[in-house]
């Protein structure tokens, strides 16, 4: 039965920041030329870092395995470039910390064509073999969190996935990399969705897209018309932040809530970003492991914004130079979107699997507005999609009463920043909450006491 349909829905609370997508939404994806030095940190996501299987001096080909998964919640790493391992040592990464990394000196004279064989046909793989193949290809959630994808596909015995939900909301302002993927690679989105839907045994798939991406919706609709047997729907969603947060997306599309502490799979849903879905399609059609990703470069501090295919490990400096460099007004570089991203202190840090955007901001966007006392207006409560009490959490954090924040369910906070955005007193609520969460993670015994 044909299941193509359009419906509109949303979730409770949230905020409406300006989109700022016009700078890049119509810019086709370009490929960044290969640089000379690539840095691949062994730990690029939540979980256990990968284990290097190469040593200094080894020659590597583009797409070759350079580090294997270090455990179950871990994925492999592959060389983004043909070249020579120049060192394995701690290197600065985007959060400012130094992480053990494989550094590759690119060979300027070698072909950078990928020379890999697709894995066995996905139809012939058991679910366990499929999960292993995805893990060995290094595939993670491409929406920013970079959670190892295969972990999501490991369904506990007795559980059943009924619905595959594809996240094409891209609710962060400025970012348009998912939008361009849906416009330019709609067929790969459909192919990847069908591979994953069938492997997980889901009855149907839904692609959730915010309504401010009409071109993506239309292109996906056109692609679906060519695939009448695919049980895939498109959900046109209200433009609201954080529409792309997993639990919000599920609420918007299915009108179902996930209980605190539960996962989407507990209600029979698997959620995947469109970038992840395309990575799965590319793995099974071309044998392409995760060695590059789409990055949006935007903001008023850059004169030539772009959507780019960037080999992982490329430095932020090389990407910005490809875009003509920073202009005189640029003051701060943000990795990711403006709501959940963070500033970087050095341009000599690598693009990682979860790097969705590089934003160059001027004094106007980075000005820290004067902070006023809380006026108990309740706007942060109205903004919080998780129905938390952000003002209370911020106050407890400011007074270093971290243990008490647990009573207010601080760990349910996804650090979306909607509360900070809504606060008329300019209180950095989500930053204070992040501080308290980090403290609780570092001192779990005190939390339990």
Under 8 Å between Cβ of 270 and 200: yes
Stretch that binds ligand SF4, among 34-42, 76-84, 281-289, 421-429 (CB under 6 A): 421-429
Residue numbers 372-391 binding ligand SF4 by CB under 6 A: 374-380, 383-384, 386, 388, 390-391
Rounded to a whole number of angstroms, the minimum distance from the CB of residue 95 to ligand SF4 is: 18
Q: At what angle do helices 127-136 and 274-286 cross, to 10 degrees?
A: 100
Identify the CA nearest to 258 among candidates 383, 178, 165.
165
Residue showing tokens 């416009």: 183
Q: How many residues bind ligand SF4 (CB under 6 A)?
A: 28
Residue 395's contacts (CB-CB under 8 Å, 6 or more residues apart) are: 374
Cβ proximity to ligand SF4, 35 vs 143, nearer residue: 143
Please tell me whether residue 12 binds ligand SF4 under the rule CB under 6 A: no
Report the nearest approach of ligand SF4 to the CB of residue 413 (Å).
3
Site membership for ligand SF4, residue 271 (CB under 6 A): no
Beta carbons of 348 and 424 less than 8 angstroms apart: no
CB closer to ligand SF4 out of 322 and 386: 386
Residue closest to 162 by CA, chosen among 246, 271, 237, 247: 271
Q: What are the tokens at 17?
A: 């920041």
> Minimum distance from CB of 108 to ligand SF4 (Å)?
45
Q: Six-digit token pair at 24?
A: 């890049």
- Asked if 427 is part of the footprint of ligand SF4 (rule: CB under 6 A), the reply reads yes
436 binds ligand SF4 (CB under 6 A): no
Nearer Cβ to ligand SF4, position 288 or 413?
413
Binder among 104, 234, 416, 440 for ligand SF4 (CB under 6 A): 416
Tell me the closest approach of the beta carbon of residue 377 to ligand SF4, in angstroms: 4
Residue 425 binds to ligand SF4 (criterion: CB under 6 A)? yes
d(CA 396, CA 390): 10
Q: Does residue 166 contact residue 208 with C-beta atoms inside 8 Å?
A: yes
Q: How far is the CB of 388 from ligand SF4 (least distance, A)?
A: 4
**Closest separation in Å from C-beta 142 to ligand SF4:** 22
User: Which C-beta is closer to ligand SF4: that of 81 or that of 433?
Assistant: 433
Contact 211, 238 (CB under 8 A): yes
Tokens of 445: 């015994």
Contact mark string toward ligand SF4, 333..372, x via CB under 6 A: ----------------------------------------
Length reported for the chain = 449
Q: Which string of b and e fits 226-253 if b means at least 16 CB within 10 Å?
A: eeeebbbbbbbbbbbbbbbbbbbbbbbb
In the complex, least distance from residue 387 CB atom to ligand SF4, rounded to whole angstroms: 8
The candidate with the shortest Cα–Cα distance to 248, out of 89, 14, 409, 43, is 14
CB of 348 to ligand SF4, least distance (A): 30
Beta bridge partners of 163: 204, 269
Q: For binding to ligand SF4 (CB under 6 A), which residues are involved?
A: 374-380, 383-384, 386, 388, 390-391, 413-419, 422-425, 427, 429-430, 433
């Amino acid at each position: 039965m044909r299941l193509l349909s359009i419906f509109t829905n949303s979730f409770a609370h949230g905020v409406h920041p300006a989109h700022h997508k016009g700078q890049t939404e119509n810019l086709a994806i370009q490929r960044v030329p290969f640089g000379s030095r690539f840095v691949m940190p062994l730990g690029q996501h939540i979980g256990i870092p990968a284990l290097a299987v190469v040593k200094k001096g080894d020659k590597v080909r583009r797409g070759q395995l350079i580090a294997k998964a270090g455990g179950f919640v871990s994925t492999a790493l592959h060389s983004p470039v043909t070249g020579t391992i120049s060192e394995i040592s701690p290197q600065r990464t985007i959060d400012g910390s130094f992480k053990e990394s494989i550094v590759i000196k690119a060979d300027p004279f070698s072909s950078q064509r990928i020379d890999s064989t697709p894995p066995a046909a996905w139809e012939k793989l058991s679910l366990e073999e499929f999960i292993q193949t995805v893990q060995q290809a290094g595939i993670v959630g491409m929406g920013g969190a970079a959670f190892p994808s295969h972990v999501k596909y490991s369904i506990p015995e007795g559980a059943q996935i009924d619905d595959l939900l594809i996240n094409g909301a891209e609710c962060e302002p400025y970012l348009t990399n998912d939008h361009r993927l849906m416009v330019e690679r709609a067929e790969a989105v459909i192919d990847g969705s069908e591979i994953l839907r069938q492997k997980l045994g889901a009855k149907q798939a839904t692609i959730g897209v915010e309504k401010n991406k009409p071109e993506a919706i239309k292109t996906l609709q056109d692609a679906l018309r060519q695939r009448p047997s695919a049980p895939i729907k498109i959900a046109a969603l209200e433009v609201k932040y954080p529409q792309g947060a997993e639990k919000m997306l599920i609420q918007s599309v299915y009108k179902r809530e996930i209980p605190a502490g539960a996962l989407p799979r507990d209600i029979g849903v698997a959620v995947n970003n469109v970038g992840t879905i395309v990575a799965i399609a590319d793995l099974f059609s071309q044998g392409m492991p995760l060695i590059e990703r789409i990055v949006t470069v935007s903001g008023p501090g850059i004169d030539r914004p772009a959507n780019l295919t960037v080999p992982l490990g490329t430095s932020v400096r090389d990407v910005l130079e490809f875009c003509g460099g920073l202009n005189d007004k640029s003051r701060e570089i943000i990795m990711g979107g403006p709501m959940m991203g963070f500033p970087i202190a050095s341009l000599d840090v690598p693009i990682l699997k979860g790097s969705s955007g590089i934003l160059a901001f001027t004094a106007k966007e980075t000005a820290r507005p004067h902070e006023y006392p809380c006026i108990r207006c309740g706007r942060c409560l109205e903004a919080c999609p998780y129905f938390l009490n952000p003002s209370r959490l911020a106050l407890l954090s400011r007074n270093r009463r971290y243990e008490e924040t647990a009573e207010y369910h601080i760990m349910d906070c996804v650090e979306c920043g909607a509360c900070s955005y809504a606060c008329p007193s300019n209180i950095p609520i989500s930053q204070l909450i992040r501080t308290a969460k980090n403290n609780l993670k570092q001192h779990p015994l005190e939390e339990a006491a």
